Structure 1
């Protein structure tokens, strides 16, 4: 277990925050620091065909050790961390034999990780937790996944009595800004299927995710002296408020769960003359997803019609762009790949939790690029913030799941 702890800490203490405003790949130069470190480590543990391309996509091979034909499978994780919260100067804290009580992350700032708020903590009473110091995120998303993949490959190399087919490893930049699979060379990877190690709670196994789109709504206005504005001023900020009010009030992230979709307003910047509203659209059901996008245009059209005579042109411009789609469509025809992962979990003593992802994953885009790719737990909780933590025992179990999947896939 200490070996996994040491490996994980060696990854999370390297700052790899990605940047959505950058046009390069990777989006930040500092992602190269961990990428290059990983390349050397993969070579050191004995993997073959270790490569890194000009965009920092890493691939490596564990050759088959059986003489019969076996599907080539892959395991994929990302090494960037979210820009939602700082990943610089991460100082992990190790909590051994967790007692189920509050954990003081930072006494000076009174930052407490408490099971009264984060009830999942109580699932790990008696285990070893790795937390933040309250000033950064941890980076278990998805450096826990990388730790597990590297550790599993190392274990298979050290235990040749465990029979397996050819296994490919892939590590990507920029997943947190939605670009992790953009430049992933599926043909070069050469797998029949793969698994992303990028889920949360131990036991999670996911092959469904949201259909996703982003919308940018621009509202125009007319600025007139407020003392003489009657019938003349058009305040674009109030138009934005009108637009938001026309959306279903209960179909927002904080009021939905499971398969329920939502509209999520995440940025609003404006003045009298111009306001820009940005939101995301999410739904597991393809027809409902299309209806949500259509509603955006319907509301915009209604506002334009309302102000057509006064403004003289479209006053509300709606731009909607698809981001990714539900992988279920691509995974269901090869559902045995989910069943193998489920069986592997059960054989190492884990109860599978099969549920939809209320978000996205590299596996979604990879599935649509021809590489069916369900998602398996990596063990972390409370991603993207200072309350992030990971139980070490969950990382150990995830490593065992990878080894068992390799073994089951090679059975005749």
Structure 2
């Protein structure tokens, strides 16, 4: 029978004083010591000055005050500035046990505000130190396998997503007979003057998609467009980061704000070809501003686009659409598998902190998956 105790998190950790915190802009790409910050990646940069090291004599947990990222760190490191909280457990609490407990105790997000004030008031439930270590040993073994499966699934998902881009790049690299190069502004009509942004406070709820730079941001009543158009991001970090497509076709009723260019083509195949092309190339030469990247209308119109004869356009687009449909099915399968793995992980943690976790229960849960 496991006997549990409970204390507020702030009563479970020691006060940590360390003044050296390195701004993100000063991180090195390589160096003697790793920098750990509140970013998602485990190691976020490097630093050479040993005087700035946070010396780890007992493993600590790094908590991202803004991001809620949790990292278990058992080596000396340099602290990245802003939003990093170091959680050093008192002797009655096993550090890795608290790490798993905090993963299990997900906080409600309050945006980019600071979350530590919420974390400090969490009730940490814990058994004896010996039993904490037993729970951790079981979780370590089980979660290592789950995390390996997640990593493989994410790698396969990334590979699938690269298939389409790779195909389109090969198409545009192997131009055939009759291909020409035209400026984008010469082959489409720009409809930016018809865009109307609506602030959230005055939008009327409806079923018409309201588009911004990276896709649908809301649904509203009424529409500006009721036709097939191509939207192209005008501003935002995604113009350079390319986390999402920057060009996307829209048909039917729609409302577009001033963060996406609107262009219209005479031919659907030309429109789709341009969409694929813009999503396949780097737009860095046409984007101004680094802090607030922007693709203005003049630069957009100047982008040279390879244009094949209509018969080739039809063949390329139809092949691309077939490939895209196959990739979408594969993506859906991998996303579903990732969802199941995340649910398995949550189930294990739930059992662990309800006192129900044994090696046998892990085997039953894994077999059910």
TM-based fold match above 0.5 = no
TM-score class, shorter-chain normalisation, is under 0.3
Structure of higher CA gyration radius = 2
TM-score (norm 1): 0.25
Structure with greater helix percent: 2
TM-score (norm 2): 0.27
